[in-house]
Amino acid sequence: MFEIRDLHVHFGGIHAIKGISLSVEDGEIVTLIGANGAGKTTTLRTASGLKAPTTGSIWIDGKDITKASPQDRVKMGLSHVPEGRRVFPRLTVLENLELGAYLRRDRAGIAADLADVYARFPVLAERTKQTAGTLSGGEQQMLAMGRALMARPRILLLDEPSMGLAPLLVQMIFDIVKGINETGTTILLVEQNANMALQIAHRAYVMETGSIVAQGTAAELAQTEDIKKAYLGG
Amino acid sequence: SGTTAPSSAAGGGAAAGGDTVKVGLLFELTGNVASYGTAEANGAKMAAEEINAAGGVNGKKIQLVEYDTKSDTAETTTLAAKLMTQDKVVAIIGPATSGGMKAQIQLSAQNKVPIVSGSATADDLTVTNGKLNEYVFRTCFVDSYQGTVMAKYAASKLNAKTAVILKDTSSDYAKGLADAFDKQFKAGGGTVAATEAYTAKQTDFNAVLTKLKGQQFDVMYVPGYYEELGLIIKQARALGITAPITGGDGYESPKLAELAGSALTDVYYTNHYSATDTDPKVTAFIDAFKKKYNNATPEAFHALGYDTMKFVADSIKRAKSATGADVKAAMTETKGFSGVTGTFDVDPATHNPIKQATIIGYKDGKISVTEKFS
Amino acid sequence: MDQLAQQLINGLSLGSIYALIALGYTMVYGIIQLINFAHGDVYMVGAYVGFASMAILGLGVFESLALAMVTCMILGVVIERVAYKPLRNSTRIAVLITAIGVSLLLEYVMLYFVGAAVRSYPPLPDYFNAQFAVGGVVISAKSLIIIGVSVALMIGLQFIVQKTRIGKAMRAVSQDADAARLMGINVDNTISFTFALGSALAGAAGVLVGIYYNTINPLMGIMPGLKAFVAAVFGGIGLIPGALIGGYFIGVTETLVSGYFSSLLQDAVVFAILILVLIFKPAGLLGKNVREKV
Amino acid sequence: MSDILAVEGLTRNFGGLAAVSNVNLRLGTGELVGLIGPNGAGKTTVFNLLTGVYPPSAGTITFTRQDRGPVSIGGRRPYAICRAGVGRTFQNIRLFKDLTVLDNVVIALQQNRRYPLLSSFLRLPPFAKAEAEIHAESLELLRIMGLDAKAEELARNLPYGDQRHLEIARALATKPTLLLLDEPAAGMNPNETAQLTRLIARLRDEFALTILLIEHDMSLVMKICERIYVLDHGVVIASGTPAEVRANPKVIEAYLGEEA
Amino acid sequence: MPPIVRTLLTRGVPLLALYLVVLGLIGAGIIDAYWMATLALICVNIVLAVSLNLITGFTGQFSLGHAGFMAIGAYATAIISNAVAGPAGFLGGLLAGGVLAALVGFLIGLPTLRLRGDYLAIATLGMAEIIRVVFVNLDSVTNGAAGLTVTQNMDWNWFFVLTVGSVILIRNYLRSRQGRDAIAVREDEIAAESIGVDTTRAKVMSFTIGAFFGGLGGGMYASYFYFIKPDLFGFLKSIDILVIVVLGGLGSLSGSIIAAILLALISTLLQGFTEIRMILYALLLVVIMIFRPEGLMGSRELSLNVFSRLGRRRPALATAQAAPGASEAQGKGDER
Ligand SMILES: Nc1ncnc2c1ncn2[C@@H]1O[C@H](COP(=O)(O)OP(=O)(O)OP(=O)(O)O)[C@@H](O)[C@H]1O
Ligand SMILES: Nc1ncnc2c1ncn2[C@@H]1O[C@H](COP(=O)(O)OP(=O)(O)OP(=O)(O)O)[C@@H](O)[C@H]1O
Ligand SMILES: [Mg+2]
Ligand SMILES: [Mg+2]
């Protein structure tokens, strides 16, 4: 349902993405792993329309959305939890969550989803009136996830959701990601924590300096020696 | 241009041999005091057109070289230098304010180019520290004259014993008038109960007027310009201040009546001329002005700019040659020059025009008094 | 006593004018952190449109007000799209200088076409000119109108920014434009809306001031623009109630200083108080000095 | 082995929230100690209190340097605390991104190499001498951190891992005796984390440092920390050797989870 | 070659050449009174812009009050040089003006430099307005609104010495530890504090030094242009100086110099278009900013040193001017 074809991205003179293609099928969790600076974040930013590609195309449900604006992509069911959380620092937790549902009009549905987010992340329920900028790192990560869920996305792009989280929470976040996926949301997951990512993903791509160097089912890749050495710390 | 060294050959060199004579027009067309500078420049331009239409001076057309000082003195100095050394004008008209004039006094002496303002009224402009600035002239009253005249008028004709002064502190003009009024009024036995101030471009005077309202006085002296005066008069009358409001030639503008509306009553000011004057020279000027500028009634600045240009042309005509030095000499010897702002001689000792003030008085938005007074 | 009451009325009326301009200033600032120096000049254009509409087209006061607001709204959006939008990713000082350029442009284009001389507004319906005397205190209908309008607009704006959907979008854009995009917010439109609203307010202020003082000129926006900026900072820049309070505070202070000390010192005293307030409340009267979390 | 840092009754409130309450910590000279705990437990706030970013609401912080004796640093300005000998890195990298790698280090290093203002204006001999020293020392430090080849690059253009290293280098340049590291391994993959673990151990020895570090990556914490404090809701809920802490049921419940 | 000799050769020779060429042109009458006045204005603007750049471009402290320092310098120089004839009065005046401006800068800076961004801007704007109002009211000393006439004491020799001297001193300052501390403050105040930079001291020092040279610029102005009055040093003058700084590039001294020259040339070119000159100027300003928002030079420097690479990269300006949202966006990647 989501596809990237032969994508190239430049930052000025820097050729950051060098012709990658990848696809995520309906209901899948696909993970994109790779070293720092490989281009994972850039791939996601291009997918959600924050960064324009040089060439190549991006597709949702067989429709070319390369030229669509970010808000149109949100309308089509794409949601992106960016690297570094990017919560609105001077808005309250509740306002942040409400903004997640900006394009939705169904009050009842929004209320239900809000209750759902609070159930998944009880910390947020305790902090509804706190300004987001003063939350701890982990709290902000939960808020960012919750905010994305408020859009009730069909495809969710996650950029390192476990970064800076306590072990208990890392586990929890991966459980939540899995849970979200099980309720029918397609997920493209970028992770440094490759071990965990490969555990919950169906398929995986490995990126290195702007290119995809390996792909396959998560289980296969987790057994590949090179990959174990380079990314799994073993 | 410069094949000869400009600084030495700059003796007000006329457009040698050509059939034009160059006159500089250096006014504040933008910046703080743009409205006065623009008006005076327009008056001067109109005069130049008339002169040229009538054949020019001594058979030569007047060619105006115009620059904008942006109401900035460094710009004024720079452009005055340009007019004198590069454009080689015979004389410079402007700027409108004394500060602008002061920025080119030294250059005028160095380059021997007379500079003439129609509205720079500071007493120390033409004579600084007791020394005459040889190349500096003006066609308007000096501050002290107007202030003195109005103080006398207030005491004798308005029967005022106690006065309050409200002056525009951002202009040296208002300060000069206020000081002279204060001195003369006290010398004549009156008391000045309070002196307050405002600044140009202010639009709300209620605070200071409310404060003055608490005083007992027979007359208010408010030297300044019509832009603020229209509002001051209006706001004063709205607050219930009924004493006569008096001032100087800065009041002269049809805008005063527009801004103050019906509140314009019991207002008196010293002026050069009156737009209701029946003198043919004045009516001709007003008609021509209306024709050229969309039926607008000329203000004092227009008239002064107009007269200044005529005065310069007249001096060039009488000069032995079209050089700065000779034109300056002719200016100094001026006797009985008759313009729309009155007839005057130039006082050789001070380079000030000797002319009589007209008092203009308003009742219910209409002119009720026009009399010569001194 | 009467005099004090009179001075307070004077101060509130003057303050309302600052507040009216400051509201638009502060709103634009709050959303894109731009000190929009051209705001005072949009206000000037509003005053001229009102003038033209009354004096030339012969429209009534309220029609003219509406016309001025619409014209300024369009002007504001055009300025934003042409001059500010290309600088979205530049430093704030660069945009500030552009705003100064736009400000000069509006002033001098206006100066070129209408001349430097002041113009006076045409006569108004009688109810504008009414005056009430309470004891020795004179209150004009105009003062009441202008005070009332400033309060009403403040409340309206505050409602829009805090309670409506577009208001929330505006605040989101102000904090993180990219993240706002990811919420499905059209950032460009939101910013344009902000300018439209702010400029319409400036237009309204222009006409009201034209009515109140009866005088307009092409450079009329500079000083009130500056004072309004000061008022906005004073109250806590970006905060809508702050603009109102800042405006009133400055109006009343100026009035009291000229009423009881010397009008010569009014600006100096206002600025001195401002500096003192900022030293003790570094984010303005209503602003919270949130320290960045590290 | 004497205590280099003694924290007693440290408390910090934000509005109604007690981010840190009544925390006591002791660090012996040369120790490598971990500070762990759930997100929002108050770990970074403790760092901010130790380095003067926030003044404490209550409590004392005593910092001891062999050569200078004990000083109370609670509530002093950050730069003064740094000069006393406490260096730190930030959870969210705060490099001077638009300066070169070298300049980042130079600015930190020059705080120990003073010369008068007049020398700067007129380029007098003290200026030249100190500048040469600063330059040489900075390059040496970059070499130790493996960044010397990138000395002239802008910090923003460094890969993420290098930026983390540069931040540590910059902190070292201030010549600290106590170094506070806030999540140095965040955003690194397991491989990079392993390298970093070795580096931290090495730095402690080479620079004779005492290190207090916050980290969520247990592979790093358990490997190199000699002692660990566990913070939860602003309170120390456990402390001890890695083995002790790992086995502590309170810590498992609040932080580690069953898997760790 | 010992470094000092090298410096003299690489920097001194071109400067000396510049000095002599202009001197020659003046002697030959090619630089006449008009061009000399233009040159004077350029020199004054260079000193003003470079000193403001030190405060705003390098230290990241947004100041809208530079005209206030200029006013102090101008009045001090005017009053002293009118009272004491000859070079003693004029040089003493310049020095006194600079020192007085620095003193005021120090006293104002100490409490206000704690303020951030626009709040500081408004405080400095207020300071300049207060200075102006004080000059209007100190009638007995300053002659109030009517202004002061000043003797012309500056010529090309003085302009050269003072302008080049100011630029060199400020440049030396910026490339010293004090200057780097200032740049660190601009880049990230919290990080700077954390590595031992006394940020208050760094800011106040830059502000005071900037104020000194601002005062000097004012004194140079007064000593050439015959006449000063308080409203020359209003808010719009501060803006004019800021425009030069931003146009040249925040954080680029050579940018400030180039912009000062360029704006003078533009002004000269536009003088013929009396009626629409300001419209053209405003348009030009907007267009330049749209196409070169980082200024003509960005934060690069052009070196006089003919042997070194041209355009050595210097630190760029970031934190102080980046949108607050950007600095609060957490996370490792700087996304913009
Ligand atoms: N705004 C930018 N300007 C210039 N170069 C950029 C920009 N953003 C990313 N890059 C470059 O593009 C490349 C890919 O970066 P990206 O952030 O996508 O990597 P990543 O795989 O997400 O790394 P990480 O694991 O550190 O998050 C890097 O070389 C980076 O330096
Ligand atoms: N400036 C502040 N204003 C208000 N609350 C704050 C502030 N700084 C921190 N807090 C609150 O204090 C608590 C502790 O935050 P802190 O950043 O110290 O957590 P942490 O232990 O470092 O968490 P993490 O591991 O997620 O970084 C959090 O609940 C946070 O919201
Ligand atoms: Mg990334
Ligand atoms: Mg933390």
Please check whether residue E63 touches C, CB under 8 A: no
Do residues D100 and D153 make contact, with C-beta atoms less than 8 angstroms apart? yes
User: From CA E335, how far away is CA A16, in angstroms rounded?
Assistant: 14
CATH of segment(s) E14-307 = 1.10.3470
Provide the ipTM. Answer: 0.90
* Residue C276 structural domain: 2-280
User: From CA C187, how far away is CA A71, in angstroms rounded?
Assistant: 9
User: What crossing angle do the helices spanning E13-27 and E156-174 adopt, rounded to 10°?
Assistant: 160
Please check whether residue E278 touches B, CB under 8 A: yes
Which residue of chain B has the CA closest to C117?
A: B35
CA of D225 to the centre of ligand 4 (A): 18
Chain E: partners with 3+ C-beta pairs within 8 Å: A, B, C, D
Please check whether residue E200 touches B, CB under 8 A: no
Q: Which of A93, A136, A162, A169 to mutate to test the pocket of ligand 2 (most atoms within 8 A of CB)?
A: A136
Question: Which parts of chain E are beta strand (E)?
Answer: 148-149, 227-228
What lies within 8 Å, CB to CB, of C68 at 6+ separation is C46, C47, C49, C50, C53, C203, C204, C206, C207
- Give C31 to chain A, closest Cα distance, Å: 12
Q: Per residue in A50-91, pLDDT tens?
A: 999 999 999 999 999 999 999 999 999 999 999 888 999 989
For chain E, the structural domain boundaries read 14-307
CA of A40 to the centre of ligand 3 (A): 6
Residue E311 pLDDT grade (very low, low, confident, very high; cuts 50, 70, 90): very low
Do residues A233 and D219 make contact, with C-beta atoms less than 8 angstroms apart? yes
Range A171-176 contact pairs with CB under 8 angstroms and sequence separation of 24 or more: A171/D257, A171/D259, A172/D257, A173/A141, A173/A142, A173/A145, A174/A199, A174/A200, A176/A120, A176/A145
pLDDT above 90: residue D84: yes
Walking along chain C (294 residues) 10 residues at a time, the average pLDDT comes out as 85 91 90 89 96 92 94 96 91 89 95 88 82 83 89 92 92 92 94 94 92 89 87 88 93 90 84 89 82 69
Contacts of C291 in chain D (CB under 8 A): 54
Which residue of chain D has the CA closest to E195?
A: D108
Chains A/E: 3 or more C-beta pairs closer than 8 A? yes
Q: Per residue in D21-75, pLDDT tens?
A: 999 999 999 999 999 998 889 999 999 999 999 999 999 999 998 888 899 998 8
Note the pLDDT of residue A36: 79
- Give C278 to chain B, closest Cα distance, Å: 26
Note the pLDDT of residue D113: 86
Of residues C68 and B277, more confidence is placed in C68
Q: Per residue in E78-134, pLDDT tens?
A: 999 999 988 889 999 999 999 999 999 999 999 999 888 888 988 999 999 999 999
Contact E324 C83 (CB under 8 A): no
- The Cβ of residue A57 has, within 10 Å, a number of other Cβ atoms equal to 15
The answer to the question of residue C19 being in a domain is: yes
Number of structural domains (chain C) is 1
What is residue D54's DSSP assignment?
S
Class of domain D1-85+176-260 as given by CATH: alpha beta
Q: Per residue in E265-307, pLDDT tens?
A: 998 889 888 888 889 999 999 999 999 988 888 888 876 554 4
Q: Is B21 exposed, middle or buried (0-12, 13-18, 19+ CB in 10 A)?
A: buried
Contact D189 A192 (CB under 8 A): yes
What lies within 8 Å, CB to CB, of A59 at 6+ separation is A2, A3, A4, A5, A65
Residue E156 pLDDT grade (very low, low, confident, very high; cuts 50, 70, 90): very high
Question: What mean pLDDT is predicted for residues E177-202?
Answer: 95
Do residues B193 and B162 make contact, with C-beta atoms less than 8 angstroms apart? yes
For chain D, the structural domain boundaries read 1-85+176-260, 96-174
pLDDT above 80: residue A229: no
**Beta-carbon-side half-sphere exposure of residue A12 (alpha carbons within 13 Å):** 2
Contact E294 C177 (CB under 8 A): no
Residue B281 pLDDT grade (very low, low, confident, very high; cuts 50, 70, 90): confident
Q: What are phi and psi of A55, to 5 degrees?
A: -140, 175
pLDDT above 90: residue A217: yes
pLDDT above 70: residue B221: yes
**Beta-carbon-side half-sphere exposure of residue B62 (alpha carbons within 13 Å):** 32
Contact E227 B103 (CB under 8 A): yes
Contacts of D91 in chain A (CB under 8 A): 137, 164
CB D91 less than 6 A from any atom of ligand 2? yes
Contacts of A83 in chain E (CB under 8 A): 331-333, 335
Strand pairing class (D58-65; D69-72):
antiparallel
Instruction: Give the one of C168, C169, C182 whose C-beta lies nearest to A70's C-beta.
Output: C182
The answer to the question of residue C286 being in a domain is: no
Note the pLDDT of residue B117: 95
- The Cβ of residue B149 has, within 10 Å, a number of other Cβ atoms equal to 23
For chain E, the maximum distance between any two Cα atoms, rounded to a whole number of angstroms, is 64
Q: Nearest 5 degrees, angle CA C175-CA C180-CA C184?
A: 165
Note the pLDDT of residue E104: 96
Residue E3 pLDDT grade (very low, low, confident, very high; cuts 50, 70, 90): low
Q: Which two tokens stand for residue D8?
A: 């007693």
User: From CA E95, how far away is CA A32, in angstroms rounded?
Assistant: 66
Class of domain A2-86+152-231 as given by CATH: alpha beta
User: From CA B2, how far away is CA E128, in angstroms rounded?
Assistant: 43
The answer to the question of residue C170 being in a domain is: yes
CA of A40 to the centre of ligand 1 (A): 8
Which residue of chain E has the CA closest to D156?
A: E334
pTM of the predicted model as reported, rounded to 2 decimal places: 0.90
CA of A43 to the centre of ligand 3 (A): 9
Query: What number does the ligand 1 atom closest to the CA of A45 have?
Result: 18
Contacts of B175 in chain E (CB under 8 A): 144-146
In angstroms, what CA-CA distances link D49 with A148, B241, D45, D214?
34, 65, 6, 14
Q: What are phi and psi of A49, to 5 degrees?
A: 95, 5
- Give A168 to chain E, closest Cα distance, Å: 21
User: From CA A220, how far away is CA D135, in angstroms rounded?
Assistant: 51
pLDDT above 80: residue A184: yes
Please check whether residue A85 touches E, CB under 8 A: yes
pLDDT above 70: residue B16: no
Note the pLDDT of residue B18: 67
Which residue of chain B has the CA closest to C111?
A: B30
User: From CA A4, how far away is CA A23, in angstroms rounded?
Assistant: 6
CA of D161 to the centre of ligand 1 (A): 12
Residue E1 pLDDT grade (very low, low, confident, very high; cuts 50, 70, 90): low
Q: Which two tokens stand for residue B52?
A: 């040229």
- The Cβ of residue B285 has, within 10 Å, a number of other Cβ atoms equal to 27
Do residues C34 and C173 make contact, with C-beta atoms less than 8 angstroms apart? no
- Give C31 to chain D, closest Cα distance, Å: 25
Which residue of chain B has the CA closest to C209?
A: B203
Alpha carbon nearest to ligand 1 atom 9, residue: A42
Contact E329 A45 (CB under 8 A): no
pLDDT above 70: residue B78: yes
pLDDT above 90: residue E243: yes
What is residue B248's DSSP assignment?
-
Note the pLDDT of residue E328: 31
Contact B7 E146 (CB under 8 A): no
CA of C197 to the centre of ligand 4 (A): 40
pLDDT above 80: residue E8: no
Which H/E stretch holds residue D239? strand D235-240
Contacts of A140 in chain E (CB under 8 A): 330
Q: What are phi and psi of E262, to 5 degrees?
A: -60, -45
What is residue E317's DSSP assignment?
P
Contact C272 E242 (CB under 8 A): no
